[in-house]
Each structure stands twice: as structure tokens, then as C-alpha cells.
Structure 1
Amino acid sequence: MFWIQVEPSVSTEDETTVYTLDSSAAGHYECILSGLRWVCESKVSLQYQFSSWEPHRASLNNMRFEEGGPLLDITMISGKLEEIHLPHFVCIDPDYPQSCLREDIKVLHVKDNRVLLEEVDEVTRFHAKLLHPSFSGRGLVLRRMLHWRVHCDLLIFRSTRALLTLHTYLIRCDPSLAREVEAQEKSYGFLRLPKPKPEKSLWKGSRFALKTSCQSSITPQTIKLRSTRPNYFEVYIKDAAMDFEMELISERGESAWKAEIRTEEYRDDSSTRDSEFVDEFRPQLIQKVNNVFAIADILFTKGVIGEEINANISAAPTRQAKMRH
């Protein structure tokens, strides 16, 4: 089956991001952002926004289900859909009977503030198909008692300071969750380091450790692949100056993911040029710079130098000695 890729137009309404999708003729279409698919026999226009599972978590627990994909609030603007295919992150065994899948995987349907579970017509590798759908908040849910493997993503964010800190998240393949995490990290001043996803699906509820090929401090020692908001590894590398590898290790000691972090990915060109300038003109700077304390204070505030260097600058007896630090 060939799916025509569609890029949504994005707008903001009452601080909520809304995605609009248009298909001009009959066909099979897929949103490149969310993975949402639809089939239509004529021109169609629809909108969706990502919603939070949190208000429905208690109801799902009572029904012994948990989320299995993003929760999408979908609104038809014009036209009619023959099918809609909701994205999910569950790793489906090809030998698992469809009759059992339809029992264990449902679609959450929010109507008039009520949470209902509906059967799906078919579950495929990355989607659940519904025929002639009506719309409201919808998302795939899984029976809690079963032990599922899930498709995952690994998100890495780096500090913009000289002392390298990485925040490394292991999450389910959920674009709404990834965007939420990225927005939070940007508010901290961290930048995304794009890396490939784990090639194999992972058991939900399992614990994982992270290691690096260079000397580093990593906390916590392990994290759990969980349904609620994910935790992250904080990786601190004091003297980062070369390429190094990061590897995710399962509780069985198996490698779940590995990637190389290259120097040019975490060192800004501007910082490198500044460093080269200082190295070239170091003798002249030591003799001529007067306002050492003010410069040190700015560098310390921005994280370019640490507490130890800042303290050494303050303790140095002469202006030239301060500059040498």
C-alpha cells in the first residue's frame, strides 16, 4: 500500500498547537509528523491536536488498560473518511491472531467527558484501523496484564556550556511526548543531538543502564522504561574534547542501543574560534586585560568556567596571574 505523505500546517489557538491536514483527492494519506493515516474517496480537511493521557489515567487503571500511542483530538473540517489509522508504539508479533489483538488492544474514545473503549477493525505493525470513524479524543490502549514490547526512541540534549552535560531520555515512540520533552529541555537552554532510534523494540517496564567510552559521571545508575513521564540520565563529562560512544545496556547485560557522539556535535564553532583566538594571543591578553574580575564573573555565570577556576582567579595575587588561569 502506498501512502501519500502530507505535511500539516501548524497554528496556535489558546496556547494549544493545532495541526491541519488537507487531501485534495481520493487516496491513502499519512501525516509525516504524527504518523496518523486516513483513507478518503474525495477531498478532505481535518485538524488534530495532541492531548494528555493524564486526565484519563485513573479510568484506564480501573479498566486495567494503559496507553499504547499518542492521544489525538481529531476534528473533521470538511469531507468524509472511509478509514482512519491511529499510530501506536506496540511491537506486534506477526503470528499474534487478530481476534486476540482486538481483545487486548482497544481505542479510547472520549465523548461528553466520558471515557469509552471501542474495538478496532484491524491492528497492523504501527497502526490500528477504524472504519467509518466518528471523532473526538482517540488513542490506542493496551491491556495492562500483558507484557508488551514497544518501539522506542532515545532523545539526547546537550548543554550549551563548556562543561558538557547530556540529558538522555528513553521514551516510547510517541511524537507528542517527544515534543513535550524537547520543549522542556529548550527552556533549560539544552539543544537536541539527533541520533538513530534503537533498532529493536524493548520490553516495557524493563530497566536500562547507560555507559560511555570516556570518563564520565552518570546519574541515576538505571532508569525504567515506563508509561508515565520518563526519567532521564544526566551525563556529565568534565574534560570533553574528543569523540566518544554512548551505549544503552539492558538489565540482562545486552546492548539495546549504541551511538557515537562527535566533537563537532557538542562544541560550538564560535567557542572553538574564541579558544583559538585566546591561544594565539595569550601573552598579549595576559599583559593588557584589566577588568579580570568582570570577565571571570561573566564566564562563570554562563558556565564557561567552573567554581574551581573562578576561585583560583580570585585568589591569584596579581592581574597577570589571574589572567593565566
Structure 2
Amino acid sequence: MTDMKLQPEVNSPDADEAPTYSLQSESGNFECSVSGLRWVCKETISFKYQFCSWEGIMERMESLQYIPAGPLMDITVIAGKLDEAYLPHWICIDDNPKILDKFAVLHIDDCGDVVEKVSEVTSSHVKLSEPVFSPRAVLMKMGLPVKIGCQVLIYYIPNTSFLRLHVYLIPHDHGLQQRVDKKKEKKGYKRIEKPRPDKYLKMQQGFNLAADTNMAKI
């Protein structure tokens, strides 16, 4: 069954705080158009989430021999029950099926960091059955050569005598993109809207951004 994409309601009370995304659905299979989070429910449900920063948490994961493999989201169910949830990940598994058993899920509860086993991995998501929510994210065991889905963010300052571009290559993480956008906007930069790379890119590898000066257009 195809997941129905839903546009969340966005609440941004403070420019310095991460916005809150609210969603409501009847029974069925759904996907959030912003985060890529998917869920299955048998009754009307409503929930909200925020993107969280990996800062500080990433060091703790590395001590456990894991790296982030998807956005970190703090999910709160307001009413109803999610029978299944599918957390998005940015790891390419198509040409490397041996890494399927290297996935895990981070669950940050009142007792600290809990790393849980994964029951099912698809090309874009990790399945959680009857999930209990808190800050959650997909993890990948360290030491494996993997390819990840990326975003290229290109910024410039308008109305200057010469063009200087600031280019960021980041994982496909909407929350991280928001934080970079805010940081650059405060300094007067604007982002040039361009499509994401059409291929997964290998980690720990150098990349070039090039253009023919006769053909280049911004």
C-alpha cells in the first residue's frame, strides 16, 4: 500500500528554537512530507516532533562504536497509538546488503542512551513496531565503508561586487539544513535553491564543485 504524504503544521514560537511539527491522521499508512517519517495506525492519532541536534550526542555514540545514520527527532504522541513507525535513514544499502545487520536505533530516555536492535530495514527507513517515543534516530556501526544520501547547500551574499559561494555538503537531514540556514541568514547570506545530488556519496571522500564559466548560471 502506498503511503499518503501529509504536510505538517509548523509552529515556530521562537526564532532561536527548533520549530515543532504537528500531524494528525485517521487509520492507514502515512508519511510526513518534511521529515520522511512514516507511520501505520488503526485509529485516529495526533503527534508532534522536533528535529534535535547531534552535537554532544554524536561523541557518546562514537564511544559506543556507532555513527548517526538518520535525523534525530524527538517525537511525542498526543492522542491515539502508532502501531508501526518507520524512521528515515540516509545510508545506501542497494549495493551493500551485508550492512543490514549493522543498523541500530537510538532511544534516549530518562535512564540515558539505549541502543536497540532493528527488526526491519528498507532502502530508506528502519521499522519500529509498537514504538515508545522520545528522541529517536537510526544508527550505523562504525568502521564500515558506506555511501550516504546528501544535500548540497550553496549560499551567497546578494548585491556584492564579486561572487563568493559558501558550499556545504551535509547528510539528508532537514533539521541540520535548518540550522545551517539560520546560521548563514544571520550573516546576510541567501541560499541558492538547487536539487540534491542524484547519487549516494561515499563518506570520507573528497568532492569538487565545478562549473563551466561560459555556461554557469545562478
TM-score class, shorter-chain normalisation, is over 0.9
TM superposition score normalised by structure 1 = 0.63
Whether the 8 Å CA contact 2:53–2:176 is kept in 1: the answer is no
Matching residue of 1:320: none
In the alignment, which of 59, 84, 109 is matched to residue 107 of structure 2?
109
Matching residue of 1:10: 10
Q: Give distance in 1, aligned partners of 2:8 and 2:203.
A: 31
Q: Give distance in 1, aligned partners of 2:94 and 2:211.
A: 33
Over residues 237-294 of structure 1, what are the superposed CA-to-partner deviations in whole Å (9 max), with x where a residue is unaligned? xxxxx751xxxxxxxxxxxxxxxx24xxxxxxxxxxxxxxxxxxxxxxxxxxxxxxxx
Over residues 83-108 of structure 1, what are the superposed CA-to-partner deviations in whole Å (9 max), with x where a residue is unaligned? 000011101126615xx51x311000
CA RMSD of aligned residues (A): 1.7
Q: Give distance in 2, aligned partners of 1:2 and 1:192.
A: 33
In the alignment, which of 141, 144, 147 is matched to residue 146 of structure 1?
144
Say which is worse superposed, 178-187 or 33-42, in terms of deviation.
178-187
Matching residue of 1:197: 196
In the TM superposition, residue 180 of structure 1 has moved relative to its aligned partner by 1.0
In the TM superposition, residue 213 of structure 1 has moved relative to its aligned partner by 2.0
Matching residue of 2:119: 121
Matching residue of 1:29: 30
1:26 partner letter: S
Q: Give distance in 1, aligned partners of 2:126 and 2:61.
A: 18
Whether the 8 Å CA contact 2:157–2:189 is kept in 1: the answer is yes
**Larger CA Rg, structure 1 vs 2:** 1
Find the residue that maps to 1:80 and give its secondary structure: coil
Whether the 8 Å CA contact 1:56–1:115 is kept in 2: the answer is no
Q: What is the count of residue pairs matched by the alignment?
A: 215
> What is the 5 A alignment of 1:90-239?
90-93=91-94, 96=97, 101=100, 103-162=101-160, 163-214=162-213
In the TM superposition, residue 209 of structure 1 has moved relative to its aligned partner by 2.5
Whether the 8 Å CA contact 2:84–2:128 is kept in 1: the answer is yes
Q: Give distance in 2, aligned partners of 1:177 and 1:77.
A: 25
Q: Give distance in 2, aligned partners of 1:48 and 1:148.
A: 28
Q: Give distance in 2, aligned partners of 1:33 and 1:168.
A: 22
Matching residue of 2:55: 54
Matching residue of 2:69: 68
Q: Give distance in 1, aligned partners of 2:172 and 2:109.
A: 26
2:19 partner letter: T
In the TM superposition, residue 57 of structure 1 has moved relative to its aligned partner by 2.0
Q: Give distance in 1, aligned partners of 2:7 and 2:207.
A: 35
Gaps of 5+ in 1: 215-241, 245-260, 263-325
After superposition, the Cα gap between the structure-2 partners of 1:40 and 1:105, relative to the gap in structure 1 and judged at 3 Å, is same
2:73 partner letter: L
Over residues 36-59 of structure 1, what are the superposed CA-to-partner deviations in whole Å (9 max), with x where a residue is unaligned? 111000100001001111222222
Find the residue that maps to 1:186 and give its secondary structure: helix
In the TM superposition, residue 187 of structure 1 has moved relative to its aligned partner by 1.1
Between Structure 1 and Structure 2, which shows a larger proportion of helix residues? 1
Over residues 221-241 of structure 1, what are the superposed CA-to-partner deviations in whole Å (9 max), with x where a residue is unaligned? xxxxxxxxxxxxxxxxxxxxx
Identity of aligned residues (%): 38
